[in-house]
Chain A
Amino acid sequence: MTQVQVDKNALQKLSQEYRSIASRLLRSNSDDGDANLARFTDFIDRNPVIRNFVEQEFQSAGIESDPELERDESGRWALPLSPDGEFVFVYALFRAALSDDLGHDYTSIARGYDSQSGNQDRNIEAFHRAVVLPFAQRIEHHIVNLLREAAGSDDQKISITVSDGSIYVAGNMQGSNAAAKAAAISDSTASYSDSQTLAQKVEELYKFLDEIPAENRDDAKEAIEVLISSASGQDIDKPELAKRVDFLGRVSPKMREHLASLLVNVSGSVTSHLLIQTIMFIFGTPG
């Protein structure tokens, strides 16, 4: 178990970033449902505060293995009546939808929610309202509760205990190093508002170079140089920057995590820096 300190501003940012990803999933249709669901679950699994909540829900629901994903007579998912049971069921459903168990087909998991119209996108909309929104709101309510708690404390901070364990779903352990991620969030609670700090933070990407395949290393190095130039004020156009950010995010999950962390405590004029805006654009967070 690891104790991490999170301040009010970091929780505000987390809430905004989380709602941006959740809204994107809620706006999905049959074309982009899979990709947006992957983004959403990835965000949940990467963030120690949210992961911790998911783990708590698993414990409180008394679930140790995969819940049975069954449909009722009307073809809708047979969601458990208890709020934590429902939460765990939907989380398992999302993970199964992204694995081979449910065939990577967002349209099929949303099936049965608007049988009258026969329109796939309406069906997905009804599924979002009945299944996805309550799940997404339960996480948001947790973040808001932490936010209130932090706002009520003298130093506007709260300590959260993050377990080093993992969420057990779909027969495997999801991302086991929560403590390292927690430490990352603890380090990133100090806000920054100048482009010099932004450039320094971008430079930290170099430390992940060894962890990416050798054939991508030169391109990654070049991409980091472009990002540092942009952070230092050089005029780099947005498509070029977007290409480099996207590349780094694809070749290294740790670089992606680091780039996303740049958005967490940014403040002042740096918020509108082209690099920050580009990272937001690529990773789907609001401006």
Chain B
Amino acid sequence: MAHHTRFMSIPTDDSSFGSFNCPFCRERFKLAASEVQDSLVIVIFCPICGMNDERGRFISTDAIDAAHIVGRNLGREIVNDLLKDFGKGFKNAKNVRFTRGRPLKMEPERTLIESIDLELQQLSCCDKSVKVRVLDQATGIYCPYCGIYQ
């Protein structure tokens, strides 16, 4: 079976921070793209609830929804291409006729926009930074990289 890959980029805000959602408590926070893309970062700790999971599980729900649309459109594109020349195979067949209907309609793809919000907090333990809500800052957060309570 052939594999089809399509890349999509996730935007960042004006200071190069992208949104993430905790898979457990579902709270949103932001991490610097350059810091989180480091290959040594395998596990992330949610700054709000402190639970941890693989980096990929924290991808924001908006980005996942957008990726699902891209995936569904890719599937439709493949089916449309496949059916384009499907009828040629039956050109000389006496008993089979193939008439191609309308191509499958594409879903409008979602444009991801990163809002400029949340407060920046420096993490002295790992010399990195995170953006969280003011309320979370006030009650204390966990370092997303080492899990230490700040």
**Chain A residues within CB distance 8 Å of chain B:** 12, 15-16, 19-20, 22-23, 26-27, 128-129, 133, 136-137, 140, 144, 147-148, 286
Contacts and interface: CB of A to CB of B under 8 A. Distances in A.
A286 B24 CA distance: 18
A140 B53 contact: no
Given A19-B147, A147-B149, A286-B43, A140 B25 contact: no
23 contacts: A12-B149, A15-B50, A15-B149, A16-B147, A16-B148, A19-B45, A19-B50, A20-B52, A22-B51, A23-B52, A26-B51, A27-B53, A129-B26, A133-B25, A133-B49, A133-B51, A136-B51, A137-B25, A137-B49, A140-B50, A144-B140, A147-B149, A286-B52
Given A144-B149, A286-B43, A19 B52 contact: yes
Interface of B: 24-26, 43, 45, 49-53, 140, 142, 147-149
Contacts of B51: 19, 22-23, 26, 133, 136
Nearest to A15: B149
B67 to A, nearest CB: 19
Contacts of B45: 19
Contacts of A26: 24, 51
A133 B149 contact: no
A286 B140 CA distance: 21
Nearest to B140: A144
Contacts of B26: 129
B149 A23 contact: no
A12 B24 contact: no
A133 B25 CA distance: 8
B138 to A, nearest CB: 13
Contacts of A137: 25, 49
A188 to B, nearest CB: 19
A137 B45 CA distance: 14
B148 A12 contact: yes
Contacts of B149: 12, 15, 144, 147
Chain A's interface: helix, strand, loop or mixed, by majority?
helix
A148 B149 CA distance: 10
B61 to A, nearest CB: 14
A128 B24 contact: yes
Contacts of A22: 51
A137 B43 CA distance: 19
Nearest to B142: A19
A16 B52 CA distance: 10
Contacts of B52: 19-20, 23, 286
A160 B87 CA distance: 80
Contacts of B142: 19
Contacts of A129: 24, 26
A19 B44 CA distance: 12
| Listed residue (B49, B50, B140, B142) with the most chain A CB atoms within 10 angstroms of its CB | B50
Contacts of B147: 16, 19-20, 286
A19 B52 CA distance: 8
A12 B43 CA distance: 18
